[in-house]
């Protein structure tokens, strides 16, 4: 439980600085420091146990079905990182209080830093790779916000976006890699993954997994070729750079290498890839750092270089290399954070970070200068500083790497050169800024000395650098050995860190680097002049340019595909459907299945022939819309005959009534549309469409035939058996609709209602020109409503309503029900509109269709909710038999009110649609 | 009979799709209607074909599969609502855009307009 507090305390308190901002900056500082201080105390309480070699694990379920759980572990490696994150975090928060100007929101910075802290702590303490990934992404997001802290600054926004794109993209690769890793190990828990080392490296997909995980680690740790985002992330405020880009986030990738080392290292591939990338990064970034004029830019590239060094050491993976790597993580955090803070102070006091302007600052800020020189000495690897010790270990570790075979000599040579460059830029940082003659005019001049409180964190860390440099073994020796065991996965030979190892090759290499670096610095003018002549090169513009170009491609691709023609989209969709159907059909050995064919029925056969002729007829004369519509109605009629013939009386009745409504609807629509379709399709277009439609038809028909001739196992036996005993009805189709699958039906009437409302909305304020004549120029008849028709319709209305009531009531036991009765009622009412006109109906029926629609859905819904009252699930139905005098015994079912809801919805929707469109033919408007 | 059913579905699908690929709204609506028939028949046929076997208890000796029938019944009604929606959309487009081309531009008129 205490472990959870370490991780979550910062984020739980993250809202405090932001909300209490007006209480002053000192209050913000105190309230922000609370969480990390408590967390440090808890973390330190684990230290004795960890040094004894105990590993503490906790686990709480989160999404167990995915293997994602709150699993945390404390071991030497995770505790080291946790303490690093918390302690540097505390110093950075302290420093930020003095760094940030009055106009910047300190609460925002602190809140974000606290959130970021939780993300980092989560990464290092996770014992579950999925959980680790969640925190990993959280660092990407919070660091995005932190880099873009000055959101008014375009460089900050671009830098933040680039960092997010690169680390986020790497995160996706990492996710894939971690999932593969977990599948190889059979568990997402790290403890199990460590145990599965042999199985993992023997797995056939190991190389793929390794590359994916490494992409994740390398993007985060800014390794070549993903290094370019880090220098641009320097647009962040200096406290953020000091924290994220020296001590923590960029170390997350390194941490991942160390964390997974026992599980996925130990192969030649690991050694070759990781060592090479580390070496390249280290050297390349050191060269880049040499030519940076921006203090923070210099530090950024030197960070990349040192991260490369650590990566290389974990790549070599010998005992010494791993220990050196761990040791260097600590050392680097200490001196690089100090240097960043020093750079921030210089920037703060002088208003510039440009090394071409900065000179002789020693005069104005002697304390900062001394501390910077010391920290730079640690970075350069001068003896008696901590950086020297880890560099010596590194130079020893690179001497003989068997995996590189005959090329093993390259590594120490290149490493020495990189060390030389490192000495050069360290010297430049310290000498150029604080000495090198008289101070030039800086934006803020004369600079004043920074507040002692602001320098305090630097002092603390430089003390550590010197202290560890002198007394490494007693101070950190035991701990580094313990962490080494965790990373290696086995107990190694105990190693003691000494300053003096006698005269040996590493010492020589170190000396060459030191002397060479300083010598190079004395010739720096020539070096910089040479660099100036080169073509300038900015990754940010390249990256932005690349993004813009990529957007251009995608836009062109999308525009090429989607040219706004709906016709074209339908063609694409249908063509794709045909391809998929064909692919499915290809797998059949024979189209005809094992089931014998049903004998041909004469009525059905005749209907089918008529149907086919009518369907083709519709297409053939579709340019004459009215005629085509009439022929289309024949198709619908034949379909209902087929339903009737194939034992589906309910369907036949539904189809028949829908057919009537549809044709009336289409005729109404035709009144407002041109009566003829122009012949505008080219020959080629027609043939293209004929072939697409033809292929689609044949494919669908073939699939239908293939299915129909194969045996079926219906799931309907349950419905047939339980229709009467459970649902209380003989008509199984209706019982399914109102009872077994009542919830589906409820959803369907809601869809109906939505369609109705949508139509009503579309029709609002719609003004279509009313044609005065038909398409041949003849005026409309003076008598729009023939008396014979209207009289007949009026006489039919009560009859139709009675039939509809009958069909509704019998629906549970014989073909009928709410849907069909609703449609019949609609037709009867529509007939009144057709025969007698809108105004006639309006005078007599005052129905507000949208209201009735809502009432219908409500009745159905309330019936369903009613069953909750009897402690049954939604829409459970029940039935009872009543005996009344005269009427006799009859059944009362709770499904009846539900069916009434269906009935009302159908009637209201149908009439809403037709009456509203019908209204358009008159001068009365929908919105009236 | 199965062959005939398959042919009917094929013809309805083909004619429906051909009309849906036309450039004016009204034929597209008619095509949609034809395609609706095809889909409904297809779904219905998945329950296989039987004569004189309505799924009403005690009405016959054997029963055809009631489930596809229930599905198709609601599908028919919703199909009508959707057709109506498309029709109204077409009317709206005609009112707002001044023509009944599916892409909202009268190719013949537009070309003339551009050349003028």
Checking if the pLDDT of A247 tops 80, the result is no
Contact A647 B22 (CB under 8 A): no
Determine the Cα–Cα distance for residues B25 and B101; give it in Å rounded to an integer: 6
Q: How many other C-beta atoms are found inside a 10 Å radius of the C-beta of residue A289?
A: 26
Q: Is A905 on the interface with B (CB under 8 A)?
A: no
Q: What is the pLDDT of residues A498-536, one digit of tens each?
A: 777 777 888 888 888 888 888 888 887 777 777 777 766
Q: Which two tokens stand for residue B96?
A: 């707002």
Of A611, A715, A751, nearest to B67 by CB-CB distance is A715
Checking if the pLDDT of B107 tops 60, the result is no
What is the DSSP annotation of A706-773? HHHTS----STHHHHHHHHHHH--SBHHHHIIIIITHHHHHHHHHHHHHHHHHHHHHHTT---PPPSB
Contacts of B43 in chain A (CB under 8 A): none
Alpha helices, H only, A291-409: 295-316, 319-350, 366-380, 386-397
Q: Is B35 on the interface with A (CB under 8 A)?
A: no
Contact B34 A632 (CB under 8 A): yes
DSSP A405: G
Kindly state the percentage of chain A with pLDDT values over 90: 31
Question: Cα torsion for A852, A854, A858, A859, to the nearest 10°?
Answer: 20
Contacts of B27 in chain A (CB under 8 A): 622, 625, 628, 677
Looking at the DSSP bridge assignments, the partners of residue A883 are: A889
Assess contact for A82 and A6: CB atoms under 8 A.
Answer: yes
Q: Which of A615, A663, A676, A769 to mutate to test the interface with B (most CBs of B within 10 A)?
A: A615
Kindly state the percentage of chain B with pLDDT values over 70: 91
Contact A700 B13 (CB under 8 A): yes
CA A128 from centroid of its chain's CA atoms = 20
pLDDT at site A754: 92
Name, of A12-21, A399-408, A558-567, B76-85, the range with top average pLDDT. Answer: B76-85
Assess contact for A455 and A367: CB atoms under 8 A.
Answer: yes
Of A648, A677, A910, nearest to B27 by CB-CB distance is A677
What is the DSSP annotation of A803-819? HHHHHHHHTTTSS--HH
Q: Which of A421-435, A631-645, B21-35, B94-108 has the lowest mean pLDDT?
A: B94-108
Contact A673 B90 (CB under 8 A): yes
Q: Which two tokens stand for residue A307?
A: 């991260």
Kindly state the percentage of chain A with pLDDT values over 70: 98
Helical packing angle, A649-672 and A625-645, nearest 10°? 170
Contact B54 A648 (CB under 8 A): yes
The strand pair at A879-884 and A68-74 is best described as unpaired
Determine the Cα–Cα distance for residues A87 and A244; give it in Å rounded to an integer: 13
Tokens 């962040």, residue located: A236
Determine the Cα–Cα distance for residues A295 and A302; give it in Å rounded to an integer: 11
The CA distance from A2 to the nearest CA of chain B, in Å, is 56
Contacts of B5 in chain A (CB under 8 A): 608, 704-705, 708
Contact A673 B107 (CB under 8 A): no
Q: Is A346 on the interface with B (CB under 8 A)?
A: no
Determine the Cα–Cα distance for residues A133 and A140; give it in Å rounded to an integer: 11
**Nearest residue on chain B to A700, alpha-carbon basis:** B10
The CA distance from A830 to the nearest CA of chain B, in Å, is 15
Contact B21 A689 (CB under 8 A): yes
* Phi-psi map region of A765: left, alpha, beta (phi>0 left; psi -120 to 50 alpha): left
The CA distance from B113 to the nearest CA of chain A, in Å, is 16
The CA distance from A25 to the nearest CA of chain B, in Å, is 60
Checking if the pLDDT of A928 tops 60, the result is no
pLDDT at site A927: 45
Contact B100 A673 (CB under 8 A): yes
Helix (H) or strand (E) holding A577: helix A566-586
Of B27, B42, B53, nearest to A647 by CB-CB distance is B53
Contacts of A599 in chain B (CB under 8 A): 1
pLDDT at site A923: 62
Contact A733 B66 (CB under 8 A): yes
Checking if the pLDDT of A868 tops 70, the result is yes
Degrees to nearest 5, angle at CA A281 with A279 and A282: 65
Please report the residues numbered 43 through 82 in chain B whose beta carbons come closer than 8 angstroms to any beta carbon of chain A: 44-60, 63-67, 69-70, 72-74, 76-82
Residue A306 burial (CB < 10 Å; 0-12/13-18/19+)?
buried
Q: Is B23 on the interface with A (CB under 8 A)?
A: yes
Q: Is B97 on the interface with A (CB under 8 A)?
A: no
Alpha helices, H only, A351-451: 366-380, 386-397, 410-427, 433-434
pLDDT at site A537: 64
Of B21, B26, B88, nearest to A571 by CB-CB distance is B21
Residue A215 or A540, more confident: A215
Integer-rounded Cα Rg, in Å, for chain B is 20
Q: What is the pLDDT of residues A49-104, one digit of tens each?
A: 888 888 888 998 888 888 888 999 999 999 999 999 999 999 999 988 888 888 88
For chain B, how far is it from start to end, CA to CA, in angstroms? Answer: 59
Of A604, A632, A697, nearest to B30 by CB-CB distance is A632
Determine the Cα–Cα distance for residues A540 and A300; give it in Å rounded to an integer: 14
Contacts of A571 in chain B (CB under 8 A): 21
Average pLDDT along chain A: 87
Checking if the pLDDT of A571 tops 90, the result is no
Contact B2 A745 (CB under 8 A): no
The CA distance from A128 to the nearest CA of chain B, in Å, is 46
Q: Give me the residue spans of the domains in chain B.
A: 2-115
> How many beta-carbon pairs under 8 angstroms link A with B?
312
Q: Is A723 on the interface with B (CB under 8 A)?
A: yes
The CA distance from A844 to the nearest CA of chain B, in Å, is 26
Contact B77 A748 (CB under 8 A): yes
- The three-class DSSP label of residue A49 is helix
Contact A730 B58 (CB under 8 A): yes
Contact B40 A639 (CB under 8 A): yes
Domain B2-115 bears CATH identifier 3.40.640.10 = no
Q: Is A689 on the interface with B (CB under 8 A)?
A: yes
Determine the Cα–Cα distance for residues A249 and A238; give it in Å rounded to an integer: 15
Contact A622 B53 (CB under 8 A): no
> What are the CA-CA distances from residue A70 to residues A6, A58, A63, A67 (Å)?
13, 8, 9, 10
Determine the Cα–Cα distance for residues A740 and A743; give it in Å rounded to an integer: 8
Tokens 């290399």, residue located: A321
Contact A910 B91 (CB under 8 A): no
Determine phi and psi for A716, rounding to 5 degrees.
Answer: -90, -5
Please report the residues numbered 582 through 601 in chain A whose beta carbons come closer than 8 angstroms to any beta carbon of chain B: 597-601
Q: What is the pLDDT of residues A374-383, one digit of tens each?
A: 999 999 888 8
pLDDT at site A838: 81
Determine the Cα–Cα distance for residues A210 and A270; give it in Å rounded to an integer: 8
Contacts of A619 in chain B (CB under 8 A): 15, 18-19
Among A572, A597, A579, CA closest to A699: A579
Q: Is A645 on the interface with B (CB under 8 A)?
A: yes
For chain A, how far is it from start to end, CA to CA, in angstroms? Answer: 67
Contacts of B107 in chain A (CB under 8 A): 680
pLDDT at site A559: 83
Checking if the pLDDT of A703 tops 80, the result is yes
Among A412, A415, A424, A413, CA closest to A379: A424
pLDDT band at A561, cuts 50/70/90? confident
Cis peptide before B32 (omega within 30 of 0): no
Q: Which of A668, A733, A901 to mutate to test the interface with B (most CBs of B within 10 A)?
A: A733
Q: Is A536 on the interface with B (CB under 8 A)?
A: no
The CA distance from A155 to the nearest CA of chain B, in Å, is 43
Average pLDDT estimate for A785-796: 88
Contact B54 A815 (CB under 8 A): yes
Looking at the DSSP bridge assignments, the partners of residue A73 are: A57
Average pLDDT estimate for A407-436: 88
Checking if the pLDDT of A588 tops 90, the result is no
Determine the Cα–Cα distance for residues A210 and A200; give it in Å rounded to an integer: 10
Tokens 């056939």, residue located: A204
Contacts of A906 in chain B (CB under 8 A): 77
Degrees to nearest 5, angle at CA A334 with A328 and A338: 140
Q: Which two tokens stand for residue A712?
A: 């079926």
pLDDT at site A208: 94
pLDDT at site A119: 93
Checking if the pLDDT of B110 tops 70, the result is no
């Amino acid at each position: 439980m205490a472990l959870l507090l370490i991780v979550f305390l910062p984020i739980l308190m993250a809202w405090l600085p932001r909300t209490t901002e007006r209480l002053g900056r000192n209050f913000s500082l105190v309230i922000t420091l609370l969480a990390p201080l408590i967390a440090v105390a808890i973390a330190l309480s684990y230290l004795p146990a960890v040094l004894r070699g105990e590993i503490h694990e906790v686990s709480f379920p989160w999404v167990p079905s995915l293997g994602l759980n709150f699993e945390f572990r404390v071991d030497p490696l995770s505790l080291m990182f946790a303490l690093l994150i918390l302690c540097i975090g505390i110093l950075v928060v302290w420093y930020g209080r003095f760094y940030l100007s009055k106009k910047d929101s300190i609460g925002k910075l602190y809140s974000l830093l606290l959130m970021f802290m939780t993300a980092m702590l989560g990464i290092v303490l996770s014992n579950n790779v999925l959980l680790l990934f969640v925190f990993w992404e959280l660092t990407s997001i919070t660091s995005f916000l932190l880099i873009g802290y000055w959101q008014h600054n375009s460089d900050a926004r671009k830098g933040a976006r680039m960092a997010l794109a690169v680390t986020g993209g790497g995160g996706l690769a990492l996710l894939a890699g971690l999932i593969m890793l977990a599948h190889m190990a059979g568990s997402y828990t790290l403890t199990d993954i460590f145990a599965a080392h042999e199985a993992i490296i023997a797995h056939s997909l190991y190389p793929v997994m390794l590359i994916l995980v490494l992409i994740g680690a390398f993007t985060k740790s800014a390794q070549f070729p993903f290094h370019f985002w880090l220098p641009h992330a320097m647009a962040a405020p200096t406290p953020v750079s000091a924290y994220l880009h020296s001590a923590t986030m960029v170390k997350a990738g390194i941490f991942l290498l160390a964390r997974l080392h026992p599980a996925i290292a130990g192969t030649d591939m690991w050694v070759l890839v990781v060592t090479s990338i580390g070496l390249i990064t280290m050297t390349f970034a050191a060269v880049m750092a040499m030519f940076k004029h921006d203090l923070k830019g210099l530090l950024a590239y030197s960070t990349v270089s040192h991260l490369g060094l650590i990566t290389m050491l974990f790549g070599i993976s010998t005992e010494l290399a791993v220990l050196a790597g761990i040791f260097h993580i600590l050392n680097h955090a200490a001196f690089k954070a100090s240097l960043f803070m020093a750079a921030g102070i210089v920037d703060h006091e002088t208003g510039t970070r440009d090394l071409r302007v900065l000179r002789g600052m020693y005069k104005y800020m002697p304390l900062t200068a001394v501390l910077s020189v010391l920290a730079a000495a640690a970075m350069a690897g001068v003896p008696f500083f901590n950086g020297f010790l880890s560099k010596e270990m590194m130079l020893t570790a690179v001497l003989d790497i068997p995996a590189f075979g005959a090329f093993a000599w390259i590594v120490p040579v290149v490493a020495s050169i990189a060390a030389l460059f490192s000495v050069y830029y360290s010297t430049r940082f310290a000498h150029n800024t604080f000495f090198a003659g008289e101070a030039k005019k800086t934006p803020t001049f004369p600079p004043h000395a920074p507040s002692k409180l602001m320098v305090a964190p630097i002092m603390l860390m430089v003390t550590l650098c010197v202290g560890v440099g002198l007394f490494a073994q007693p101070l950190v020796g035991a701990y580094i050995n313990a962490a080494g065991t965790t990373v290696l996965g086995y107990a190694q030979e105990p190693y003691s860190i000494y300053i003096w190892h006698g005269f040996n090759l590493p010492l020589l290499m170190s000396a060459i680097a030191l002397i060479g670096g300083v010598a190079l610095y004395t010739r720096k003018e020539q070096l910089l002049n040479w660099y100036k002549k080169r073509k300038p090169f900015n990754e940010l513009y390249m990256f932005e340019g690349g993004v813009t170009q990529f957007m251009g491609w995608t836009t062109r691709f999308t525009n090429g595909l989607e040219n706004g023609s709906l016709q074209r989209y339908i063609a694409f969709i249908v063509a794709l459907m045909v391809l998929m159907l064909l692919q499915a059909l290809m797998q059949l050995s024979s189209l005809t299945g094992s089931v014998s064919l049903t004998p041909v029925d004469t009525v059905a056969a005749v209907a089918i022939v008529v149907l086919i002729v009518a369907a083709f007829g519709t297409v053939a004369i579709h340019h004459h819309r009215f005629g085509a519509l009439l022929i289309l109605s024949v198709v619908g009629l034949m379909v209902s005959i087929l339903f009737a013939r194939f034992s589906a009386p309910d369907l036949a009745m539904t189809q028949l009534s829908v057919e009537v409504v549809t044709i009336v609807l289409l005729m109404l629509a035709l009144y407002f549309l041109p009566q003829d379709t122009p012949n505008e399709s080219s020959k080629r277009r027609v043939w293209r469409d004929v072939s697409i439609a033809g292929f689609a038809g044949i494919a669908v028909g073939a699939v239908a035939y293939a299915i129909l001739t194969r045996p079926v196992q219906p799931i309907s036996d349950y419905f047939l058996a339980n229709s009467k005993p459970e649902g209380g009805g003989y008509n199984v189709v209706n019982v399914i609709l109102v009872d077994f699958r009542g919830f589906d039906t409820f959803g369907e009437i809601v869809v109906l209602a939505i369609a109705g409302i949508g139509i009503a909305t579309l029709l609002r304020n719609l003004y279509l020109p009313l044609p005065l004549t038909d398409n041949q120029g003849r005026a409309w008849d003076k008598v729009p409503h023939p008396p014979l028709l209207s009289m007949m319709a009026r006489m039919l209305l009560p009859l139709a309503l009675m039939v509809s009531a009958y069909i509704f009531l019998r629906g549970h036991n014989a073909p009928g029900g709410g849907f069909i009765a609703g449609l019949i009622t609609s037709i009867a009412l529509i007939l009144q509109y057709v025969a007698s006109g809108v105004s006639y109906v309006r005078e007599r029926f005052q129905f507000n269709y949208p209201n009735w629609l809502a009432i219908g859905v409500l009745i159905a819904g309330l019936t369903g909710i009613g069953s909750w009252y009897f402690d049954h699930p939604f829409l459970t139905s029940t039935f009872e038999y009543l005996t009344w005098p005269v009427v006799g015994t009859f059944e009362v079912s709770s499904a009846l009110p539900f069916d009434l809801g269906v009935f009302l919805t159908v009637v209201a929707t149908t009439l809403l649609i037709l009456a509203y469109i019908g209204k358009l033919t008159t001068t009365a408007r929908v919105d009236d | 009979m199965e062959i005939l059913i398959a042919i009917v579905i094929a013809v309805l699908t083909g004619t429906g799709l051909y009309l849906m690929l036309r450039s004016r709204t009204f034929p597209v609506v008619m095509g949609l209607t034809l395609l609706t028939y095809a889909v409904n028949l297809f779904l219905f046929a998945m329950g296989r074909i039987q004569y004189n076997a309505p799924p009403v208890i005690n009405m016959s000796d054997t029963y055809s599969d009631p489930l596809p029938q229930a599905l198709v019944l609601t599908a028919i009604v919703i199909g009508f609502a959707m057709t109506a929606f498309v029709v109204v959309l077409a009317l709206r487009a005609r009112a707002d855009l001044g023509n009944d081309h599916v892409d909202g531009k009268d190719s013949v008129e537009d070309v003339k307009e551009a050349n003028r």
